[in-house]
């Protein structure tokens, strides 16, 4: 079956990688793929990222090189031989380096040492050399007032080079290492993984940089983190050019600061119009002798500017400055608001483009050009600006006397914060940035620079339509958006309202910054007209009640680019910042808190693979794939930490042959990780653990109602003798509903479907129905609206109209802390109130009835109810 592909947003002339799902049993695992555009064929590289249990392709990934004039749409055809291109990616190994030839540029990557890239050549000319990672360390925080703190320079040192992916169209090279001191003393720190992406015919190298925080918060303060490169400058000073991007306009294209090392515009004497226009356009100005004599004989009196800095200290403004030398004062350049994070330094014979995606959103950031008036300029993209106070990851309070579980549980009653000494540590969290280095043959035009900056910040992606995605049968119960009836249209309007509300709040509340961008707040304080950013467990959301899933399901069904970008940023954030990637809690995430790492509840429900799978399969992103792989044996974390240690009423010590695992949030996360490992790599142990524990849940006397079962790490199986009933309102709202739906449609496991349907049917059943089924009324029932989709699932599978009506009643007429939609409240709710004046810091729009718990679960319930029991 051929598949139509369209651009998520604007097509750009850069390399592209994307994913496509296939219905079960339609594409053989060894099938080739061709890509067609009208009557022509485009060279494409293809590989399999997931398979169905029968071995057929579930997800495939594809890559094409830069298309000078991208078509509006393409057709992907399985079973057809792909076309071959004139330019291919070619890898050449030598004793100490790997050279990657793209057909346009050759990049030389040392196997190890202090450089990521030794040099890059284009048309036989060296454009850039000595690409490296740099950082600045200081042993105490930046003082507020008088005093100084010594900073020490560190350099990234590569220890391992691995070719992760290679083919004629696309290659990915992974570099692993740590930052080492450049002088005496100091210690290595900040492990990093850098992935370099190369496409056939491309002049750019995409850089995906991930670093892990392994510092000690009381003595390690990161004062700068950057990617640095040297650029040969053979041109005359007046033919050396500097370009720095400003804000993007309505067309998403930024303007640029346009300058030369030795400017010949604006002088008292005119060298000649043609020479002035040439310099502004980036062309050679011609020999000085040809200029007007009034200028040429005084050229030595024109200052040569050598250093430039663009500093984005916040989401609201950047500053610009330049100087003629390190011993001279800085001159301020008129600045603006939100820089696009792209720059150029070079001349008419070649130069380097460099940039950081989401530059202003990830502040504090900075772009530096140094030494442009010397034979070698240096460009630095700072992911943490040295101008900002050093990164301070100490806990935000002193513990408030919470030295035992009793006091910590008391704090939960007032600030909703689950504190425990030593647990508010950032040791092991990560952050990923996307950068680009581009080897230009000469100074590019303003239009070309603007397009390249736009491609950095809105990278092109090919996608299937919602109808085609739905046809493949992936990701559980959802259906393309449909406004064919008044009831459907009303729910669609509310889904749009909720998404629009959060995008508006991100902008108005400035949910941006190095560690924060991508997350949203948990709950609202309507007295202060402020999200509860400073109140314990009510602050950053950290995937609580699955906003990630809501956003991804909303993208699947609408195909909207803005929804995709919001979900993408959340996936990047929650998978990196809210999860530990080394240390004692590796593989666990942190519950919601004032600081993303602050809560003592370290749980799989936050690190769950179910929140990363959509992005991985739609983009084939290797870093996300690495995060998924980290979770394949996440069950071992239960040996280190009991998630329910503070509220247990029984006597329990973690035992590798009898580990307590909740059948809701815990097993749901494990099942997602095992399923992903199985379908991605054919992982036999993951498959066996998944299918085995599914069978065990089916064999438990009370199935999912048991609440918790004992897992044997050595066998990967549950003890099936436990006979109890323990229901939690949280069990099904962290991806369990979605993963169970996928598993049941994937493979029949004795007893499992019945156990899940029983849970879905009884959760919102009447007390009488519950007593008839299990001998007593179920307690712990809450989040009624959220659980309406469980009743809907049972209704659809049992073909029970009365259950369908119950599901819609629970959805529309809920009580408690959910988003009610009954007729009496429709006018008051589902609208925004604008607040201005002295009561608020800045004008805002608020909807006090919305919390992220409610929004995420309303969204998921609406989407799944519409798919299962549409009115």
**Element (DSSP H or E) covering residue 466:** helix 466-471
pLDDT at 820 over 80: no
For residue 159, pLDDT over 70 is answered with yes
According to the model, what pLDDT value does residue 823 have? 42
pLDDT of residue 122: 98
CA-to-CA separations, 75 to 7, 35, 344, in angstroms, rounded: 12, 6, 36
**Separation between Cα atoms, residue 703 and residue 12, nearest integer Å:** 52
Calpha distance 777→234 (Å, rounded): 82
pLDDT bucket at 818, cuts 50 / 70 / 90: low
Give the whole-number percent of the chain exceeding pLDDT 90. 93
User: Which of 541, 551, 545 is closest to 578 using CA atoms?
Assistant: 541
Kindly state the DSSP code that residue 837 receives in the 8-state scheme: S
Q: Which two tokens stand for residue 112?
A: 């190890």
The pLDDT assigned to 147 comes to: 86
789-812 per-position pLDDT tens digit: 999 999 999 999 999 999 999 998
Among 705, 674, 711, which Cα is nearest to 690's?
674
8-state DSSP, 65: -
Give the confidence band of 250 by pLDDT, cuts at 50, 70, 90: confident
Q: Select the more confidently predicted residue: 651 or 104.
A: 104
| Length of the chain counted residue by residue | 871
| pLDDT bucket at 86, cuts 50 / 70 / 90 | very high
Q: Is the pLDDT of residue 825 over 70?
A: no
Nearest to 771 by CA among 783, 761, 762: 762
Tokens read off for 228: 């640095």
| Token pair for 599 | 């809560």
**CA neighbours within 13 Å on the CB side: how many for 158?**
26
Per-residue pLDDT band at 348 (split at 50, 70, 90): very high
Structure tokens at 601: 């509840």
pLDDT at 233: 98
Establish how many alpha carbons lie within 13 A of residue 443's alpha carbon, considering only the half-sphere containing its beta carbon: 25
Q: Can you give the pLDDT at residue 428?
A: 98
Burial class of residue 634, CB neighbours in 10 A (0-12, 13-18, 19+): buried
- Report phi then psi at 528, rounded to 5: -90, -5
Give residues with Cβ within 8 angstroms of 617, minimum separation 6: 19, 21, 49, 50, 59, 474
* CA 310/CA 294 separation, integer angstroms: 34
How far apart CA 251 and CA 675 sit, in angstroms, is 42
Give the model's pLDDT for residue 568: 98
319: pLDDT confidence band, cut at 50, 70 and 90?
very high
User: pLDDT digits over 585-613, tens only?
Assistant: 999 999 999 999 999 999 999 999 999 99
Nearest to 807 by CA among 830, 784, 840: 784
What's the mean pLDDT in 518-543? Answer: 97
Going by pLDDT thresholds of 50, 70 and 90, the confidence category of residue 814 is low
Are 766 and 809 in contact by the 8 Å Cβ rule? The answer is: no
Model pLDDT, residue 830: 84
Whole-number pLDDT of residue 666: 97
Query: What is the rounded distance in angstroms from the CA atom of residue 868 to the CA atom of residue 477?
Result: 7
Kind and range of the H or E run holding 396: none
pLDDT at 824: 43
356-391: pLDDT as tens digits = 999 999 999 999 999 999 999 999 999 999 999 999
Under 8 Å between Cβ of 73 and 5: yes
Q: What is the rounded distance in angstroms from the CA atom of residue 380 to the CA atom of residue 382?
A: 6
Give the domain ranges of the chain.
3-78, 94-261+305-464, 263-302
Residues 6+ away with beta carbon under 8 Å from 464: 3, 4, 5, 20, 21
Cβ neighbors of 828 (< 8 A, separation 6 or more) are none
The CA–CA distances, whole Å, from 269 to 129, 261, 272, 276 equal 38, 18, 9, 11
- Report percent pLDDT > 70 for the chain: 98
Q: What confidence score (pLDDT) does residue 643 get?
A: 86
For 691-695, what is the mean pLDDT? 98
Angle at which helices 752-763 and 784-798 pack, to 10 degrees? Answer: 130
Buried b (16+ CB within 10 A) or exposed e, 803-839: bbebbbebbbebeeebbbbeeeeeeebbeeeeeeeee
Per-residue pLDDT of 672-690, as tens digits, reads: 999 999 999 999 999 999 9
Which fold does the domain 94-261+305-464 belong to in CATH?
Beta-galactosidase; Chain A, domain 5 (2.70.98)
pTM for the model stands at: 0.97
DSSP tag of 290: G
| Nearest to 71, CA basis, from 1, 2, 7, 18 | 7
* pLDDT at 761 exceeding the cut of 70: yes
Give the mean pLDDT of the chain. Answer: 96
**Residue 692 burial (CB count, 10 A):** 16
**Among the listed residues 861, 855, 862, 829, the one whose alpha carbon sits nearest the alpha carbon of residue 487:** 862
Spatial contact of 63 and 45, defined as CB atoms under 8 Å apart: yes
pLDDT in tens, 190-212: 999 999 999 999 999 999 999 99
């Amino acid at each position: 079956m051929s598949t139509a592909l369209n651009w998520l947003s604007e097509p750009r002339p850069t390399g592209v990688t994307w994913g496509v799902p296939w219905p079960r049993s339609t594409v053989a695992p060894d099938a080739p793929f061709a890509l067609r555009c009208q009557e022509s064929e485009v060279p494409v590289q293809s590989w399999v990222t997931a398979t169905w249990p029968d071995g057929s392709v579930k997800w495939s990934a594809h890559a094409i090189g830069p298309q000078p004039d991208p078509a509006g749409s393409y057709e992907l055809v399985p079973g057809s031989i792909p076309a071959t291109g004139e330019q291919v990616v070619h890898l050449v190994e030598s004793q100490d380096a790997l050279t990657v030839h793209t057909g346009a540029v050759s990049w030389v990557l040392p196997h190890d040492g202090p450089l990521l890239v030794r040099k890059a050549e284009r048309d036989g000319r060296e454009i850039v050399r000595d690409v490296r990672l740099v950082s600045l360390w200081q042993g105490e925080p930046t003082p507020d007032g008088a005093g100084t703190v010594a900073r020490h320079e560190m350099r990234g040192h590569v220890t391992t080079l691995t070719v992760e992916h290679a083919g004629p169209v696309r290659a990915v090279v992974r570099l692993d290492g740590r930052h080492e001191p450049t002088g005496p003393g100091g210690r290595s720190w900040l492990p990093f993984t850098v992935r370099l992406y190369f496409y056939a015919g491309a002049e750019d190298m995409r850089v995906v940089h991930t670093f892990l925080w392994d510092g000690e918060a009381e003595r390690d303060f990161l004062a700068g983190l950057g990617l640095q490169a040297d650029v040969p400058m053979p041109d005359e000073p007046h033919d050396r050019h500097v370009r720095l991007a400003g804000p993007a306009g309505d067309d998403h294209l930024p303007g640029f600061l346009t300058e030369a090392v030795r400017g010949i515009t604006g002088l008292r004497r005119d060298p000649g119009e043609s020479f002035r226009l040439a310099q502004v356009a980036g062309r050679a100005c011609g020999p000085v002798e040809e200029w007007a004599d009034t200028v040429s004989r005084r050229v030595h009196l024109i200052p040569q500017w050598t250093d430039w800095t663009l500093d984005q200290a916040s989401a609201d403004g950047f500053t610009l400055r330049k100087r003629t030398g390190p011993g001279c004062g800085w001159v301020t350049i008129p600045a603006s608001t939100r820089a696009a994070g792209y720059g150029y330094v070079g001349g008419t014979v070649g130069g380097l483009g460099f940039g950081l995606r989401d530059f202003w959103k990830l502040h504090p950031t900075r772009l530096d050009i140094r030494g442009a008036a010397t034979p070698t300029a240096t460009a630095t993209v700072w992911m943490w600006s040295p101008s900002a106070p050093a990164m301070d990851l100490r806990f935000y309070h002193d513990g408030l006397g919470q030295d035992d579980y009793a006091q910590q549980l008391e704090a939960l009653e007032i600030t909703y914060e689950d504190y425990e000494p030593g647990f508010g540590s950032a040791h092991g969290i990560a952050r990923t940035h996307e950068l680009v280095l581009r080897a230009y043959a000469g100074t590019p035009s303003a239009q070309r620079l603007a397009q390249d900056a736009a491609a950095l910040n809105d990278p092109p992606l090919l996608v299937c339509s919602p109808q085609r995605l739905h046809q493949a049968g992936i990701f559980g119960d959802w259906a393309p958006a449909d406004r064919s009836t008044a009831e459907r249209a009303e729910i669609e309007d509310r889904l749009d309202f909720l998404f629009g509300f959060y995008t508006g709040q991100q902008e108005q509340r400035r949910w941006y910054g190095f560690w924060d961008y991508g997350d949203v707040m948990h709950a609202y304080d309507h007295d202060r007209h402020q999200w509860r950013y400073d109140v314990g467990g009510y602050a950053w959301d950290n995937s609580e009640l699955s906003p990630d899933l809501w956003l991804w399901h909303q993208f699947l069904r609408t195909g909207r680019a803005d929804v995709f970008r919001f979900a993408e940023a959340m996936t990047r954030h929650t998978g990196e910042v809210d999860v530990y990637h080394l240390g004692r809690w590796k593989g666990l995430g942190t519950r919601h808190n004032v600081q993303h790492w602050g809560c003592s509840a370290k749980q799989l429900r936050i690190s769950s693979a179910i929140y990363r799978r959509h992005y991985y399969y739609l983009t084939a992103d290797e870093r996300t794939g690495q995060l998924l792989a980290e979770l394949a044996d996440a069950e071992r974390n239960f040996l280190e930490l009991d998630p329910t240690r503070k509220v247990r009423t029984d006597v329990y010590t973690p035992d590798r042959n009898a580990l307590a695992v909740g059948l809701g949030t815990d097993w749901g996360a494990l099942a997602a990780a095992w399923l992903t490992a199985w379908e991605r790599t054919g992982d036999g142990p993951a498959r066996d653990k998944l299918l085995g524990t599914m069978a065990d849940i089916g064999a438990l006397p009370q199935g999912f109602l048991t609440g918790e079962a004992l897992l044997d790490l050595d066998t990967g199986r549950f003890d099936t003798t436990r006979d109890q009933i323990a229901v939690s309102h949280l069990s099904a709202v962290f991806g369990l509903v979605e993963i169970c739906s996928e598993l049941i449609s994937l493979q029949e496991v004795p007893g499992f479907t019945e156990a899940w349907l029983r849970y879905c049917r009884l959760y919102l059943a009447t007390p009488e129905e519950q007593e008839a089924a299990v001998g007593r009324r179920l307690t712990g029932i809450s989040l009624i609206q959220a659980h309406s989709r469980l009743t809907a699932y049972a209704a659809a599978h049992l073909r029970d109209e009365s259950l369908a009506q119950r599901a819609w009643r629970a959805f529309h007429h809920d009580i408690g802390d959910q988003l009610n939609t009954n007729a009496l409240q429709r006018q008051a709710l589902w609208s925004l109130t604008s607040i201005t004046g002295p009561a608020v810091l800045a004008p805002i729009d608020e909807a006090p009835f919305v919390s992220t718990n409610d929004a995420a679960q309303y969204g998921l319930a609406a989407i799944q109810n519409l798919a299962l029991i549409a009115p």
